[in-house]
Amino acid sequence: MNMPNKFVSHLTAEDVTKLEQLWQTNANFRVRNRAHALLLSYRRVGIDEIARICKVGRDAVSRWINNWEANSYEGLKDKAKSGRRATLSHTEETVAITTALKVPQSPARQLAEIEKKTGKKISRGILKRLLKKNIGGNESSAAKPSNAVGKNLRGREAS
C-alpha cells in the first residue's frame, strides 16, 4: 500500500543554504539528521525513503516536517529534557576531584573533605562516578599518571 507523502512546502535559497550548512557542520547529530531530512523532503523524496535514509520511523520524519513548518530552525533542536539536577556544579566537581586525588586511599576522608569544602554531602557512588567520568579507572589515582589528571582538570576548568 502506498502511504501518503507530505513535503516541506517552501524553502528560500537562504533556507536551503543554511540547512545544508547545518547538515554538514552542526555538532548535534539529531540536528544534522533533521536538516538532511528537510532537504530531502524539499527535493520531493518521500517520507518512507527519508525514514530509511535517516534510520528512523516515518512518524519521526513527519514530526520533523511539522516542527519545521511551525517553528523553522527552532524546530530542528531537541526540546529540553527532564531529569535529575546535578548534585555538584562544575566548579564543585573540580574541587571534589582535586580533593579526592589528594587522599586517594581513604574514601571516608575524601568525602569529609569534599563536604567541608563544598558544603554538600555526596555518596561514595557519586564520587566514584565523578572520578571515573573525569579521569577514568577507579577511585585510586595510584595507577594514573599525574599529568593526565592535570590535563583532564584543566579541560574541565576551561568549559
pLDDT in tens, 55-110: 999 999 999 999 999 998 888 888 877 788 888 888 999 999 999 998 888 889 99
**Residue ranges per structural domain of the chain:** 13-76, 90-158
Q: What is the 3-state secondary structure (H, E, C) of 52-87?
A: HHHCCCHHHHHHHHHHHHHHHHHHHCCCCCCCCCCC
Q: Could you tell me if 94 and 134 are in contact, meaning their C-beta atoms sit under 8 angstroms apart?
A: no
- Residue 156 has what pLDDT? 52
- Residue 2 has what pLDDT? 64
Residue 151 — pLDDT band, cuts 50, 70, 90?
A: very low
Q: What is the largest CA-CA distance in the chain?
A: 68
Residue with cell 519545521: 68
What's the average model confidence in pLDDT over 4-32?
90
The pTM of the full predicted model, rounded to 2 decimals, is 0.53
Q: What percent of the chain has pLDDT over 70?
A: 84
- Residue 103 has what pLDDT? 83
